[in-house]
Amino acid sequence: MTILLYMTTALRGLSANKLRSALTVLGILIGVGAVIILVAVGNGSSISVQNRIKALGTNTITITNRGRFGRGPATTGTQTQAATITAADLKTMSDPNQAPDILSVSPVLSASVTASYQAASTTVTVTATSPTYLPAEDYTVEAGRSIDASDVASSAQVAVIGQTLLSNLYPTGANPIGTEIFVTEGRNEAQFQVIGVLASKGSTTGADPNNVAIIPYTTAEGLLTGYTNNFNEIIVQAKNSKGVDAAEAEASDILASANQTTVANLPFLVINEQSLLSTSASTTSTFTVLLGAVAAISLLVGGIGIMNIMLVTVTERTREIGIRKAIGAPRGAILGQFLTEAVLLSLLGGLAGVAVGLIGSRFKIVGVKPVATPTSVVEAFVVAVAVGVFFGFYPANRAASLRPVDALRYE
Amino acid sequence: MTANFSTLPAGERPTPPVIALRNVTRTYQMGDSEVHALGGVSLVIERGEFVAIMGASGSGKSTMMNIIGCLDVPSSGRYWLDGVDVRGLDETRLARVRNRKIGFVFQSFNLIPRTSALANIELPLLYAGVHAKERRERALAALDLVGLSARAGHLPNEMSGGQQQRVAVARALVTNPALILADEPTGNLDSHSSDEVMNVFESLNRAGRTVVLITHEPDIAERTKRTVRLRDGLVVSDETTQVGSRHAEMAAGR
């Protein structure tokens, strides 16, 4: 008997009990659909975490002075000296011999200021830093140039501006390069020449990373009130993603020895956001596996439904099996016939489940945009068919093992 | 008859009898007691015979039919079907023997439901591995032989009992078997339909087919050429029916 004949015979068998067959198919449909949608939800949330990691910048660690020192002695130790990050510390960290995993160290001093150009005026975050800050924070210069070492050395009054600031100050679309903007903070006022425009960048947090003006940190002296010779915040960039943790350790060690304390007592907040997000990403993937497993259980239940209905079918058609055997059907033909029916049920359920799963994945579910992966679709479908084979085998084998005499006598 | 024909070289084999039973017994275990359905039956049916096996219910005729039809195996004794010793054949081989050598006709027609007359007739050929085109041709020829060419596409539940039974006969003869074995073929039919079906059997026998009917109706047995009577699992009489039937006389007198 050819596959086609098995199929047509199976279809005839299934259509004899349309409602029953449809309900069995529904069981598999729900299983497959659930696997696809739930895995897509898990996948969607892990993709959003990954996007946040990417937006973080490249392999950076933020070290912030907690500000506890300078106001009083340490509450936990005997230490009385205020801990600081000095220009010398930055130099040590930048030394490849002392800190082999650190690519660059950038001081950061940010302040909210008012910027104006001609009639336009807006509030913007000024970040006073070194040239290494831009690659560390994944900023790229779209037009003009970035700040460079000579700007830092000469305390040049130059600024690289972000897209939001650009559109706020230059609503007419004029070329900003070479123009002078005024920056006011409290009583201080300074004039900066725009030397470059940053490309638009995605947000990690709620703040708009494009509403910025980047200036050399040396220029901030006398302009921004927070400026001192020490730095309250630095951005450390590791050479590669694997070296982030090592870079964090090296930076901490250098700061600890400079401040004559231990890493554990270091009064700085070290934020390694990548490791935080990696933890979150692994949690998400555990979550995805869990969701998939729950859905797979419903697929299993669907499989038991197939087995149940096939057992009923075999019992109902005992006489037919007897007739077929009497006229010479070999064992394999009977086995094949009923196995095909079971597999056809799971095949139909699988196909419908894939359709439902793909349609369902188009909708936002509990705030997550599901992303259906081809792997999960193919896997769910293949598993569904395998479930049909597995759960169809026992009833089919039972049919094939019937003795023709007994089967013919069955009423 | 007792010789094992398969031991003779091919050229020297005489035409074997279609059925050769030697001392066949069949015992069933019913709870604690043993039931002897057949107590030692020996019987030879030659090619071209038209035989009725008669007996009251419980006489062992159903067991006889199951054994002759290779649906069941003897507890002891031997059985050659068309020269093949069926003792020791496994399930697969028995299925093949049933498919190639025997055409079954049952009391309750036993057509596959929801399947057209033609497809029902094709079924044994399908299990024999015959190609689609040849299947169709042979099934149509068989359907023509029972006079139901016009009903090829009909489903079993769209046909009368007599028509269904004739389709069943067509299914039985489509594989060109050595033996057509009918179990109470007219048991569920009115006298007119019975007559139609018996006419088909008679014409098949005239064409040289070996036909064995299991029946308890004397007037059906009378239309055959030989009647074997069973009682309590034993053959009690085996006689040639006079003149190959009363019908011939009636036809001559008409």
Tens digits of residue pLDDT in A322-334: 999 999 999 999 9
- Residue A185 pLDDT level (bands cut at 50, 70, 90): confident
pLDDT value, residue A329:
93
Token pair in block for residue B112: 């596959």
More reliable by pLDDT, A269 or B207: B207
**A128 pLDDT more than 50:** yes
pLDDT value, residue A94:
85
Instruction: Report the percent of chain A where pLDDT is more than 70.
Output: 91
CB-CB: which of A16, A331, A404 is closest to B71?
A404
DSSP state string for A36-87: HHHHHHHHHHHHHHHHHHHHT-SSEEEEEE-S-BTTB--SSSS--SPP-B-H
Q: Measured between CB atoms, does A323 come within 8 Å of chain B?
A: yes
pLDDT value, residue B143:
95
Q: How far apart are CA B52 and CA A320, in angstroms?
A: 27
Cβ of B98 and A331 within 8 Å?
A: no
Q: How close A400 gets to chain B, by Cα (Å)?
A: 11
Q: Measured between CB atoms, does A304 come within 8 Å of chain B?
A: no
Instruction: Report the percent of chain B where pLDDT is more than 70.
Output: 90
Rounded CA Rg of chain B: 18
More reliable by pLDDT, A285 or B175: B175
Q: How far apart are CA A157 and CA A278, in angstroms?
A: 39
Question: CB-based contacts of B90: which residues, under 8 Å, 6+ apart?
Answer: none
CB-CB: which of A320, A327, A404 is closest to B127?
A327
pLDDT value, residue A60:
84
- Which of A136-145, A324-333, A399-408, B157-166 is least confident? A136-145
pLDDT value, residue A5:
85
Which DSSP letter does residue A365 get? Answer: B
Question: CB-based contacts of B179: which residues, under 8 Å, 6+ apart?
Answer: B18, B19, B68, B81, B82, B101, B102, B103, B210, B211, B212
- Cβ proximity of A114 and A190 under 8 Å: no
Mean predicted confidence (pLDDT) in A70-76: 42
- Cβ proximity of B197 and B204 under 8 Å: no
Q: Measured between CB atoms, does A5 come within 8 Å of chain B?
A: yes
Q: How close A11 gets to chain B, by Cα (Å)?
A: 11
Q: Average pLDDT, whole number, for chain A?
A: 86
pLDDT value, residue B142:
95
* B104 neighbourhood in chain A, CB within 8 Å: 326-327
Among candidate residues B168, B169, B165, the one with its CA nearest the CA of residue B186:
B165
**A222 pLDDT more than 80:** no
More reliable by pLDDT, A380 or A57: A380
pLDDT value, residue A308:
95
Cβ of B123 and A327 within 8 Å?
A: yes
Cβ of A328 and B100 within 8 Å?
A: yes
Question: CB-based contacts of A312: which residues, under 8 Å, 6+ apart?
Answer: A20
* A325 neighbourhood in chain B, CB within 8 Å: 95, 98
- Residue A243 pLDDT level (bands cut at 50, 70, 90): confident
Mean predicted confidence (pLDDT) in A326-354: 94
* A5 neighbourhood in chain B, CB within 8 Å: 126
Mean predicted confidence (pLDDT) in B184-202: 93
Q: Which pLDDT tens digit goes with each residue over A196-210?
A: 999 988 765 667 888
Which ipTM did the prediction report? 0.89
Question: CB-based contacts of A223: which residues, under 8 Å, 6+ apart?
Answer: A183, A185, A188, A190
